[in-house]
Chains A and B, each alone.
Chain A
Amino acid sequence: MMQADLTSISWLSLAIWLPILSGVLVLLLGGDQKATLTRWLALAGSLVSFLVTVPLYTLFDVQDGFFQFEELFPWIPAFNIHYHLGIDGFSMPLVLLTSFTTVIVVLAAWEVITKHVAQYMAAFLIMSGIMIGVFTALDAMLYYVFWEAMLIPMFLVIGVWGGPNRVYATVKFFLYTLLGSLLMLVAFIYLYHQTGSFELADYYLLPLSMKAQIYIFIAFFMAFAVKIPMWPVHTWLPDAHVEAPTGGSVVLAAIALKLGGYSFLRFAMPIAPDASHYFSTAMIVLSLIAVVYIALVALVQTDMKKLIAYSSISHMGFVTLGFFMFGQLALEGAVVQMISHGFISSAMFLSVGVLYDRVHSREISAYGGVANKMPVFAGFAVLFAMANSGLPGTSGFVGEFMVILAAVKFNFWVGFFAATTLIFGAAYTLWMTKRVFFGDVANHHVAELTDLNKREFLILGILAILVIGFGVYPQPITEVMQATTGEFLKHMAISKLPVTGY
């Protein structure tokens, strides 16, 4: 009885609109004069928004490989567009990751952001709702609206609260993403005229010629590859990450990049399965370039945030690599990698944020011997660095190991190059850790450092528990997606080419 009542609630709509409404509320009630009220309001909003996504996990039916929690209403009948929401094993963990990260971001901004507090908090709350919309939309137009709407708050976040070169970075970010998205819109227009609807399910069933599939795949690729980002369209990311405020970097790394990965699974691959197979070699090569080459680029960075940004690209290479090998293990590994990277990259950026708030420099050379002054913080930072380089027992290991295992089975050399990340990843992360944290105290800035306060300890502590928790026991993530992965691979194996010759 209780169960029936709970499932009748529109959890997904709540997950989308609650953060957006609390963002508006923060904007209306908050302000720089009432900064404390604003912060508590934002925290309350983000916590409530997180709580309403928890039932998505507890009420989720792991046996069901199709969409759950569906909501369907006509939205724009003139174009047969629906307000259609639903989640499966791929999107559910990402929804939770989004709402959780928002809480972290609000906490991380607590005393750090003093300029336009209400606008900052509101931007992140609204962005959280919009991103959950992207993950849950099952109508292509609804999805597209959320996808592009996300650009507006992100543009402002980087531009208003970012670093010295923020304007260049944010405009670049916006235009890069917009270009890709508009080509995706063209693909949707094509599909709309083929099926007469924007319903994702109709697109899945639509037979398409190879030529059409190739064009559609390229259009989607432009949109998603920019977002993930894949080599060679990754150049906006280091700029955006470096200039964004800590919260912005966290959201970009933890969630925004996942939008691209998720969209490959939701749109590009199932709509154009034959083209996906056709392009799989190219995609694997691009992914490997990202994994190996970008890791080498990360090695030579002198800016901590830039290093983590490149490391993100390299890790996302694993995700696309996992997608395009079309195997259960590879796919699950890729999704686990997305979730785990969400925690680890957030933690890494937050750690840089802790240092930046005290010293106001992101240069590695400005530090040295931080561990002497901040032992607790150094403990956390080393843990996250280990996780980032894929140490067994941390969540970073699980996804990478699954993908590498699948890759070796798929082709030895693919596996070989993928495995180099364990060396390079460890090299750049640990080398940075060594230079920043160990050795003698480098200068008077470092000498004046104070260790973590309670708020910072809380944030990093939660993330550390999650990183170790999922590293030791990843089943909560893998279990929910098993059925979905099975259905996905079944779908991908069936050609959509029109049958000819009768």
Chain B
Amino acid sequence: MDNMQFDLLTLLPELVLLGMAMFILLLDLFILPQNRSIIYGLSQFTLFAAAFFTFKTHTPAVGFAFSHMFIDDTLSDVIKMMMYLGTSLIFVYSRKYLQDRNLYRGEFYAMVLFGLLGMMIMVSGHNLLTIYIGLELLSLCLYSLVAFDRDNPRASEAAMKYFVLGALASGMLLYGMSMIYGMTGSLDVSAIANSIMQQDKSPVLIMGLVFLVSGIAFKFGAVPFQMWVPDVYQGSPTPMTLLIGSVPKLAAFAMTVRLLVQGLHPLAQDWQDMLMLMAILSIIIGNFSAIVQTNLKRMLAYSTISHVGFIMFGMMSANANGFASSFFYISTYVLTSIAGFGIILLLSRQGFEAEEIDDLKGLNQRHPWFAFMMLIIMFSMAGIPPTIGFYAKFTVLQAAWQAGFTWQVVLAVLMAVIGAFYYLNIVRKMYFDAPVDHAPLTAPVDMRFVLSVHSLALLGLGLFPEILLSVCGRSLLMSLQ
């Protein structure tokens, strides 16, 4: 393990990504704007290469690097693979939008790749500081990406809000970490677990836990740390919303597993209650606020808050079944939300954002095919079978029920009906109303094709959910042993 060469080998995907991201940043200086497709292709290639190396270096055994600062287990590999896929889809869907708005620059790709690197470090962090560094790398990239459209005042405002609140959350997280370090004398996740096991619960430890959970909740966007979500979602250029709302949730999940399960599991009783409260509040507030929205991105932001509530529903069970179900929920949520924002990007064109719900009116008459795709996406978000979203809700609910959260499950079920209302509202506009906008689609063929396959996959996975279920369940079990 002390072998430096072996350490580097464990980090091979991260190193590839780092090298390529820097190369792309440099290369962009010497490339003419009309040849920017090279950057795009190179970025996609980078993701492919990283996936290749992640797959190649995968072993069922848990590997550590740099004296246990970095962990490489099945869970991290699976999450990373999902992240590559998600990022790749984001690149496909956002390309046209960026071109139309003069945002098609190399920095975008470099920044997203750096952000991805940060997420990968979070996923593999086995030390409080590693996790923190990963999180900061991600956050800084996201802040600047939100402000990427420099002359857009709404985006700048969103970036400012995001930065101030995000920095505050990072501070809280760090503060919590310092308390835990103070009580356990270690930054290593397993050493912390061992140390807590051997000592009595102390108020300082619980305070540290509270700050830690707050930090995590902020990154997820759970109530009462949800204020930034609607504003940032609405204000950011749609590709950035797409990014913020999708892949980082996977990283936040991994961070939760590392911190709460692998590190602070002896305190499970305490964080269970916190998560439960946040879960319930998120579901209620998210769903009720989403009903009254007229802006699609803002509505999806509130719906994200309610989805986060469901994700926490699984985690609050504090057992393998619960976390496996949360993991499954997040994977399906990420898939679904990327597709949802993909449709917004598909419908927008030069000078037109397609982000009001009314912009979807009569879509069935304009483009029946994509109306059908959006229908699948909306029903998947609402959790209606036979789409994958149903199994996501089902798994977290059964996990929570197993852990004894009876009335919470009934409440969540009732809230799911409220949620169905605003998703139905979109289907209603698409199918029952007459179109107001008759412009043809300008999206390129590759985007249409990928988006169609992607949306149909939500249906296909719903008919055969076993594949994803077992991948999520098994990878989580393997890393919790």
Contact = CB atoms under 8 A, between A and B. Distances in A.
B435 interface: no
A192 B398 contact: yes
A175 B421 contact: yes
Candidate in B397, B409, B427, B469 with the most chain A CB atoms within 10 angstroms = B427
Nearest to B415: A182
B410 interface: yes
B64 interface: no
Interface string B379-397: 1000011100011001101
A182 B469 CA distance: 21
Interface string B456-480: 0000000001100110010000000
A160 B431 contact: yes
Contacts of B401: 186, 189-190, 193
Contacts of B420: 174-175, 178
Candidate in B409, B413, B421 with the most chain A CB atoms within 10 angstroms = B413
Contacts of B52: none
A159 B431 CA distance: 8
Interface in A311-367: none
B427 A145 contact: no
Contacts of A175: 417, 420-421, 424
Contact of A189 (B397, B414, B432): B397
A179 B470 CA distance: 29
A414 interface: no
A148 B384 contact: yes
A155 interface: yes
A155 B424 contact: yes
A185 B413 CA distance: 9
A167 B469 contact: no
A78 B398 contact: no
Interface residues of A, number: 33
A212 to B, nearest CB: 12
B432 A159 contact: yes
Contacts of A189: 394, 397-398, 401, 409
B428 interface: yes
Contacts of A78: 466, 469-470, 473
Interface string B345-375: 0000000000000000000100010000001
A76 interface: yes
Contact of A186 (B385, B410, B427): B410
A162 B469 CA distance: 39
B413 A183 contact: yes
Contacts of B384: 148-149, 151-152, 178
A144 B383 CA distance: 13
A182 B413 contact: yes
A186 B421 CA distance: 20
B297 to A, nearest CB: 23
A179 B397 contact: no
Contacts of B470: 77-78
B428 A76 contact: no
B413 A186 contact: yes
Contacts of B398: 79, 189, 192-193
Nearest to A156: B431
Interface string A193-225: 100000000000000000000000000000000
A189 B408 CA distance: 14
B275 interface: no
A119 interface: yes
Contacts of A148: 384-385, 390
- What does DSSP make chain A's interface, helix, strand, loop or mixed? helix
Nearest to A184: B413
B458 to A, nearest CB: 13
Contacts of B59: none
A166 interface: yes
Given A78-B469, A174-B420, A159 B397 contact: no
Nearest to A74: B466
A75 interface: yes
B156 to A, nearest CB: 39
B326 to A, nearest CB: 15
A145 B385 contact: yes
A171 interface: yes
B377 interface: no
A140 to B, nearest CB: 12
Contacts of B469: 76, 78-79
A149 B463 CA distance: 11
Contacts of A192: 398
A145 B386 CA distance: 6
Nearest to B372: A27
A399 B398 CA distance: 41
Interface string A147-172: 01101100110011000001100110
Interface in A103-117: 116
Contacts of A174: 420, 424
Contacts of B397: 185-186, 189
Given A148-B390, A185-B394, A76 B465 contact: yes
A175 B424 CA distance: 9
Interface in B409-463: 409-410, 413-414, 416-417, 420-421, 424, 427-428, 431-432
Contacts of A145: 385-386, 390
Interface in B40-64: none
Contacts of A151: 384
B402 interface: yes
B394 to A, nearest CB: 7
Given A119-B368, A185-B397, A193 B402 contact: yes
Nearest to A141: B394
Contacts of B368: 119
A-B complex: 6 closest residue pairs judged by Cβ atoms: A145-B385, A182-B413, A78-B469, A159-B432, A189-B398, A179-B417
7 contacts: A76-B391, A78-B473, A145-B385, A145-B390, A171-B428, A175-B424, A185-B394
Given A78-B469, A178-B384, A193-B402, 6 more contacts: A79-B395, A119-B364, A148-B385, A167-B432, A171-B428, A186-B397
